Amino acid sequence: MFLLLIFFQSQNSNFLSERNIFNILTEVSIYGIIAVGMTFVILTAGIDLSVGSILAVCAMTASYVIKGDNFTTVDPNAWGGFSWLLGLGICLAIGTLIGFLHGLGVTRLRLPPFIVTLGGMTIWRGLTLVINDGAPIAGFDAGYRWWGTRRNARYLHSYLDLRHCLDSGVSGAA
C-alpha cells in the first residue's frame, strides 16, 4: 500500500493533497460503511454475497418514492417536502425484510449462507434492473443534492458517517 502511495504521488504531485485525500475518502465511504457490517459477518465465519444487491434495490426503491413517479403514486410534495423521510422508511423496511428472509433461509431451512445470499444477490440485482429498465433514476431537483454533498466545516458528511461507523464497529467488536 505504501509503495502504491509513493508511485501515485510520483505520477501526480496533487495525489496526497488534503483535497484529494478527502475526495477519495468521500468516494469510498459507502463501501467502508458496508465493509464494517461485513466484518462482523466474516468474523463469525459467515458470508453474504448479496449486500451490494440489497443496497441497490433499497436505493432504487427509495429513489422512486422520493422522486414520486413511475410505479409509486406518492406525490413528493404531499409530505411537505419530506418525501425523503418516507423513502428512507421504505428503504429500511425493505432491507430489514430481505435480511429477515435471508436469515430464515439460513436458520430455519438450514441452507448454506453462500447459497442463500448468492440466490438473493441474483434476485435483488435483477429486481433492481427490472424496476427501472436498467437505467438510473434521474431528474431530482437541487434540494436533494445536499444529501451527498452536505458539509460540516470542511468535512463531507459521508466521510463523517464512515468515521462514525468505523468507531462504532471497533467499539462494538471490543
Query: Pairing between strand 151-152 and 155-156?
Result: antiparallel
* pLDDT tier at 10, thresholds 50, 70, 90: very high
Nearest to 140 by CA among 64, 67, 57, 62: 67
Please say whether the beta carbons of 36 and 169 come within 8 A: yes
Average pLDDT over the chain reads: 82
User: How far is Cα 170 from Cα 129, in angstroms, rounded to an integer?
Assistant: 35
Q: What is the pLDDT of residues 14-47, one digit of tens each?
A: 999 988 887 887 788 888 888 888 888 888 888 8
* The one-letter amino acid at 12: N
* pLDDT tier at 76, thresholds 50, 70, 90: low
For 113, residues 6+ apart whose C-beta sits below 8 A from its C-beta are 46, 47, 48, 106
The neighbour count for residue 63, using CB atoms within 10 Å, is 20
Stretch 106-133: mean pLDDT, rounded? 94
* The one-letter amino acid at 1: M
User: How far is Cα 35 from Cα 28, in angstroms, rounded to an integer?
Assistant: 10
Residue 114: all three cell numbers together: 453462500
% the chain with pLDDT above 70: 78
User: How far is Cα 20 from Cα 16, in angstroms, rounded to an integer?
Assistant: 6
Domain edges within the chain:
47-162
E strands, the chain, are 151-152, 155-156
Q: What is the pLDDT of residues 135-160, one digit of tens each?
A: 888 777 666 666 666 655 555 666 67
| Residues 63, 168, 60: CA angle, nearest 5 degrees | 10
Q: Record the pTM.
A: 0.74
* pLDDT tier at 162, thresholds 50, 70, 90: confident
Stretch 113-123: mean pLDDT, rounded? 96
Distance between start and end Cα atoms, the chain? 26
